[in-house]
Amino acid sequence: MLIFFIRHGETVDNVGGIYAGVRDSELTNHGILQARSLADYFKQSRCPVSLILASPLQRARRTAEAILNAQNGNTGTQTNSGDAASRRPQATLVKTPLLIEQDFGFYEGKPFYARSSDYNKSGKDAHYDKHRQDPNFKDVESKESMAKRCDGFLDDFLVPAVHEREGQDTAIAVVSHGILLSNLWRRFLLRLARKSITIADEVTAAKGQILLEHLGGWSNTGFLEVRLTRRRDPDAGLVNDSQLPIDGQGTISTDDALSSIADMAAAEADADRTIPPVPTSTGEVADPDASSVLPKVTSRSRGLASFNLNILTVNGQEHMRGVKRARGGIGSAKYDEGQKSLDSFFKKAKK
């Protein structure tokens, strides 16, 4: 079974350099092209996607719908009844607010801030110090809140879906937002035994040394691809979650501190059009005790500890090979379903 963790296509706010967390920013024309290219790529080169779990914000929803339409043959392309594509099981799209991006609070809809004249402060830190006492100031959603949302999504959606589809040649797609995906990935890792995680040789060759908690940023429609398989005991056969040890408090302990919001944004800076630095309510670069305030993963919600995980693709962009942005600002403009395609403007009128 494959799982894809996918970031949405390019948005108007991405192009404009504007903070958009819970703000419902529209896809650009290029963003729609990215989503459709990804959808076609999955249909042609991967096993069928049976379930798509997505944020309801339109940038993620439209990206998810492109995948859904391609999987179910609703793309306007003729399919022969004997084709393998026509025999695919119908994919299902489920939207949940648990996958909505981090709430940037006061910064929603505002432009990114340049570095302050005070060299020791970033623009966002200086802006926070200036405005935090304003009566309408709303702080950024905390990492604790995001961790709880991610755990809720894993418990109620992803882990049950994995068990329902175990042993099937199928895939699950999770379509969300860059910062949420970074948090979700770290919470997902806590459900697995470290010795059960491997990285494909192709990934190591392309990316070099990989830090599991910091895989880098998601480009627009970039995807993380992993394969889950049930671990087998040579004597007892398939391993069940109930057979695996848990610490004395009934929890899976973690020594890995979730980095601050600022650290997370910095780790994503190496990807094309990645999530910009996020405002933070503290000037701390890192909190070594951050893990102590985050929710622990309980035995009830462990769920995946008996599975092996193989990381196959990190920030996959193969679907964008040969895809070019439309010139003249058209590619960066807001997508409008009613607009004509570029080719239609140059077709000769029929006599």
Binding-site residue set for substrate: 7-14, 59
| Token reading at 177 | 């937002």
| Token reading at 11 | 């948005």
**Per the annotation, where are the binding residues?**
7-14, 59
Residues whose CB falls within 8 Å of the CB of residue 60, separated by 6 or more in sequence, listed in order:
8, 54, 99, 175, 176, 177
Residues whose CB falls within 8 Å of the CB of residue 319, separated by 6 or more in sequence, listed in order:
34, 37, 38, 40, 41, 42, 221
What phi-psi label fits residue 315: left (phi over 0), alpha (psi between -120 and 50 degrees) or beta?
left
Q: Which residue has the tokens 């601050």?
A: 260
The residues facing 225 across adjacent strands are 4, 313
**SS3 for 89?**
coil
**SS3 for 334?**
strand
| H helix runs in the chain, sequence order | 12-16, 29-45, 58-71, 123-131, 143-153, 159-164, 178-189, 201-207, 261-267
Return the closest-CA partner of residue 178 out of 222, 218, 224, 226: 218
CA-CA distance, 284 to 272, in Å (whole number)?
26
CA-CA distance, 213 to 175, in Å (whole number)?
19
**SS3 for 212?**
coil
Phi, psi of 29 (to 5 degrees): -60, -40
